[in-house]
A and B are shown apart, each in its own frame.
Chain A
Amino acid sequence: MEKTKNKSAFLTKTLEIFKKIGRGIKIFFTKMYSNKKSAIGFSIILLYVIVAIVGPLLFPYDSTVNTANKYLAPSLEHPFGTDWMGLDVFRQVISGTSSVLQVAFFTAFLSIALGTVLGILSGYVGGWVDRVIMTIVNIFLSVPSFPVYLMMAALFTIETPITMALMISIFSWAGLCRAIRVQVISLKESDFIQICRVMNMSTGHIIFKEIMPNLFSYIAVNFVLILRGSILASVGIMLVGLASYNPTDWGVIIQAARMRGLMNVNNVIIMLYPLVAILIFQIAALMLSQGLDETINPRLKVL
C-alpha cells in the first residue's frame, strides 16, 4: 500500500514538474514574440541555432582538397563558391556555426552565472565581502581585456570552444556583477523586502523568490549583450591568428582570406560570407536585446 502510494506520488510530482516546465517554455516564447523587434531577433538567432545543430547533418563538410576546383563561382552545388583549396565555402560556414555559437552561449552562461552569484552575494551580504568583490570587479574592469586575451591565448593554446568561452568570461562577468549588486542593494532597502524579514522568511527564500524574479529582465538583456560581445572577442582573437582550432570557424575563415591577400577579389568575396553571417547575428542579437528592453521598460519606446 505504501509503495504504490509513493510511486503515484512520485509520478504526480514529476508530472507537475513537467507541466511547470511546459508552462515556463510557453511563457518564454510568448515574451520573446510579444515585441516586433525581439520577435525578429529571436527568430534569427533560433535559425542560427537550428543551422548549427542540423546543418552539418544536411550539408556535411568534406575537407578533401581539390585544387582543380579553385575559386569556382557560386552555383547550385556550391552556393557560395569554393575557396583557394577547392573547398566549398557554404559548407564551411555551416560547419563553423556550431563552434561560433558554442563560444557565444557558453560565455554568456558562465558570465551570467558568475556575475549573478557574486553580484547578489556582494549586494545582499555587504560588509567586507562586498568590498572584496567590488575590488576584484574593479580590477577586471580596469585591465584592458584584449591584450590579456592575447597573452592568455598565446600562453595556453586554445583548443576548444569551451576554453575560449572560459577565457572571455573572465572579463565579461564584471560589468554584470556591478550592475546586479546595485540593484540588489536598492531592492534590499525596499519595503517589500524589509517586510519579509518581519515575517520571518528565510534568507534563501528572500533571495531566490523575492529578489531574483526582479532581476530576471535585467539578466535576460545582458545575456544577449554578452552573446554579442563574446563573438566580437572571439573573432578578434582569431583575426590575430591565435585561435585556429577550428578551420571552419568564421573568424578563422576571415583570417585565412586576409592572409591570402585581399588584393584578390576572390578572397574578398570568400571573406564576406562569414563576415555577413557574423553581422546578421549581431544585428539580430541587438534587436532582441532592444526588444526585450522595451517590453520590460515600455517608456523606452523611442521610435
Chain B
Amino acid sequence: MEEKTWNEEAKRPSAFKRAGRAVLRFFKKNEYIFSKIGFSLLTLALTTIFLFFLLRQIPGDIVDIYAQQLQYSRGLPYERAYELAVQLLNYNPNENIFAAFFRYVGGLLRGELGESYLQEGVSANLLIEQRLPWTLFISSVALFISFFLGVAIGGYVAQRRNGIANKIASGYIAVTGAIPDYLMALLMVTLFAYQLKIFPSQNNFDIFTVTPGFNIDFILNVLYHAALPILSSAIIQTGYWIMQMRGSCIGILGSDYIFSARARGLSERTIRKKYMNKNALLPLVASFGVAFGGLFGGSVLLESIFNYPGIGLEITARITSKDYVVVQGLVFFSAAMIIIVNLIVDLIYPLIDPRVKRG
C-alpha cells in the first residue's frame, strides 16, 4: 500500500465504507416502511408458532388414527401407513419438537402448506386454488356493494341530519347491527329459497345443467346461486359502512373549514364533492383495506348455510373429519393474507393521507 499523502484523495473513505453509509441512510430514510415490514414478519412468525403448537395439542394418538385411515384408504400395511402418517402430519411423537418445527417451517418456505391424509394428492395448496376464488367472489362482491352503497348513503344522510332519510338510516343501522350475517342468511334462505323458492339454497352452480366455462349459461347460473349469499352479507354490511361514513362526515362537517366554506357561499353540493367526500373517506379506506384482508378468513358460517364451496366451508369440513394438517395450512394461509393485506394498507395509507408522515 502506498503511503497516504496528506491531500484530498486520502480523505475519501473507502468504497466499502461509502456503500455501507449509503445503505444506512436508505434504511433511515424509509424507517417507517421497514419497521412496518419487520413488525409484520414478526407477527407472521409468531402466528406460525402459535398455530403449530396449537395443533400439537391434539388429544389421543392422532398418528395412530391417521395410520389406520391410511391403511384403509390406500391399502397399505400398518407400518408403512404409520410412516406415511408421520410424514404427512409432520408429527413424529418421538421426535424433538424443535426439529419438527424447523422441518415445518422449511416446508412452509417451500410453499407446502400441508397434505390431506384422507385423499391422496390433496394438499392445502390445491384446496386454496380450488376454493379461494369462490370465497373471494361472494365476499368481495358483497364488500364492494356494501361499501359503495354505504358510503353513498352515509354521505347523503350526513348532510341532512334532521331529515327523514337520516331516521330511516339510523333504524336500518340499528337493525342490521343486531343481526349477524349468518342469521340474516338463515332468514333469507328460509324465506326466499325454501318457502318462496325464488333462489337456490345450496351450492355455487348447478352441476347437472351447466358446464363450467365462459359460457353465458354458466355465468348466469353462478350469479343465480350467488345471489342469496351476497345479498344477505351485503344487507348487513351496508349498515356498518353507512354508520362509519356518516360518523366520519359528521365529524368533518363540524370543522371550522367547512364552516368558512359555507360562509363563503359554497353550495352544499360543492362542499360535499370537494371537501367532505375526500376527507371523510380517508379513514374509511383504511377500514376497507382491513376488511378486505379479513375476507381471507372466509365467512365460515355463511358458506356452511349455503353449502357454498369456499375456504370457510372447507375448513369446517376438514376440522370435523380431523384432517388437521390441511386445516393448519388453510388457517395459516388466511392469517398470512390478513397480515399481508394489513401491511399493504399500512404502507399505502400515508400516500393518500398527508397527515400521516413517514419517518
The answer to whether B42 has its CB under 8 Å from any CB of chain A is: yes
Q: Is A243 an interface residue (CB 8 A)?
A: no
Instruction: State how many residues of chain A have any CB contact under 8 Å with chain B.
Output: 40
Q: Could you say which of A144, A148, A232 has the most chain B C-beta atoms within 10 Å of its C-beta?
A: A144
The verdict on A144 contacting B304 (CB below 8 Å), with A139-B46, A155-B57, A283-B178 known, is no
Nearest Cβ in chain B — how far from A241, in angstroms?
8
Q: Is B15's beta carbon under 8 Å from chain A?
A: no
Q: Which of the residues B39, B43, B190, B294 comes within 8 Å of A144, measured between beta carbons?
A: B294
Q: Which of B59, B189, B334 has the most CB of A within 10 A?
A: B334
Please tell me which stretch of B23-31, B77-85, B105-113, B166-174 contacts chain A, meaning at least 4 of its Cβ atoms lie within 8 angstroms of it: B166-174
List, in ascending order, chain A residues with CB within 8 A of B58's CB: 155
Q: Which of A59-67, A189-197, A263-271 contacts B (4 or more CB under 8 A)?
A: A263-271
Q: For residue B191, which residue of chain A has the nearest CB? A: A268
Proximity string of chain B (169-195) to chain A, C-beta cutoff 8 Å, 1 when within and 0 when not: 010001101111011001101100011
Q: Tell me which residues from 138 to 171 in chain A have a Cβ below 8 Å from any Cβ of chain B.
A: 138-139, 142-148, 150-152, 154-156
| The stretch of A28-36, A87-95, A99-107, A274-282 that contacts the partner chain | A274-282
Which chain A residues lie closer than 8 Å to B189 at the CB level?
Answer: 262
Bound Cα distance A142, B40 (Å)? 10
Q: Cβ of A302: which chain B residues have Cβ within 8 Å of it?
A: 161, 166, 170, 246, 250
Is B183 in contact with A279, judged by CB distance below 8 angstroms?
yes
1/0 contact trace for B272-310 toward A, CB 8 Å? 000000000000000000000010111011001100000
Measured CA separation A268–B192 after assembly (Å): 13
8 Å CB interface, A33-92 against B: none
Whether B54 is near chain A, meaning CB under 8 Å from some CB there, is: yes
Residues on A with C-beta less than 8 A from B50 are 139, 143
A287 at the interface (CB under 8 A from B): yes
CA–CA, A258 and B189, complex, Å:
11
Closest chain B residue, CB of each to CB of A146: B300
Is B174 within 8 A of A262, CB to CB? no
Q: Are A144 and B335 in contact (CB under 8 A)?
A: yes
Bitwise interface map of B from 309 to 334 toward A, beta carbon under 8 Å scored 1, else 0: 00010011001101010010011001
What residues of chain B lie closer than 8 Å to A177, measured between beta carbons?
A: none
Q: Are B194 and A154 in contact (CB under 8 A)?
A: no
Determine whether the beta carbon of B177 is less than 8 Å from that of A144.
Answer: no
Any B CB within 8 A of the CB of A239: yes
**Chain B residues with CB below 8 A from A136, complex form:** 46
Asked whether any CB of chain A lies closer than 8 Å to the CB of B342, the reply is yes
Contact indicator per residue, chain B 51-77, by CB within 8 Å of chain A (1) or not (0): 100110111000000000000000000
| Selected contact of A143 from candidates B42, B195, B335, CB within 8 Å | B335
Is A254 an interface position by the 8 A CB rule?
Answer: yes
Which residues of chain A from 206 to 222 have a CB within 8 Å of any chain B CB? none
Q: How far is the CA of A278 from the CA of B180 in the complex (A)?
A: 10
Indicate whether B153 reaches chain A with its CB closer than 8 angstroms.
no
- Out of B54, B175, B183, name the residue touching A148 (CB < 8 Å): B54
Cβ A142 vs Cβ B43 within 8 A? yes
Partner of B331 from the list A147, A156, A242, A262 (CB cut-off 8 Å) is A147
Task: Indicate if the CB atoms of A144 and B296 lie closer than 8 Å.
Answer: yes
Distance of A271 Cα from B246 Cα, bound (Å): 35
Within 8 A of A (CB), among B330-351: 330-331, 334-335, 338-339, 342
Q: In the complex the two chains form, is A283's CB within 8 Å of B300's CB?
A: no
Q: Is the CB of A286 within 8 A of B342?
A: no
Chain B residues whose C-beta falls within 8 Å of the C-beta of A151 in the assembled complex: 54-55, 319, 324, 327, 331
Complex Cα–Cα for A148 and B315 (A): 10
By a CB distance below 8 angstroms, the chain B residues around A139 are 43, 46-47, 50
Chain A residues lying within 8 Å of B327, measured Cβ to Cβ, are 147, 151
> If the complex has contacts A147-B330, A154-B319, A278-B183, are A262 and B190 also in contact, measured as CB distance less than 8 A?
yes
Known A239-B301, A286-B177, A286-B178; judge A144-B46 contact (CB<8 A).
no
Given A150-B316, A240-B304, A268-B195, check contact A144 B59 (CB 8 Å).
Answer: no
Binding site for A on B (CB under 8 A): 39, 42-43, 46-47, 50-51, 54-55, 57-59, 161, 166-167, 170, 174-175, 177-180, 182-183, 186-187, 189-190, 194-195, 246, 250, 294, 296-298, 300-301, 304-305, 312, 315-316, 319-320, 322, 324, 327, 330-331, 334-335, 338-339, 342
What are the 7 tightest A-B residue pairs by CB atom distance, in nearest-first order? A144-B297, A282-B178, A283-B178, A143-B335, A154-B319, A147-B331, A232-B180
Sample 19 A-B pairs with CB under 8 A, ordered by A number: A135-B43, A138-B39, A139-B50, A143-B338, A144-B298, A144-B338, A146-B297, A150-B300, A156-B57, A258-B305, A275-B186, A279-B179, A279-B183, A282-B179, A282-B180, A283-B175, A286-B177, A302-B246, A303-B170
Give 15 A-B pairs besides A144-B296, A242-B320, A302-B161 with Cβ atoms closer than 8 angstroms: A139-B46, A144-B338, A146-B312, A147-B315, A147-B330, A147-B334, A151-B327, A154-B319, A235-B180, A236-B182, A236-B300, A239-B305, A241-B320, A283-B178, A286-B178
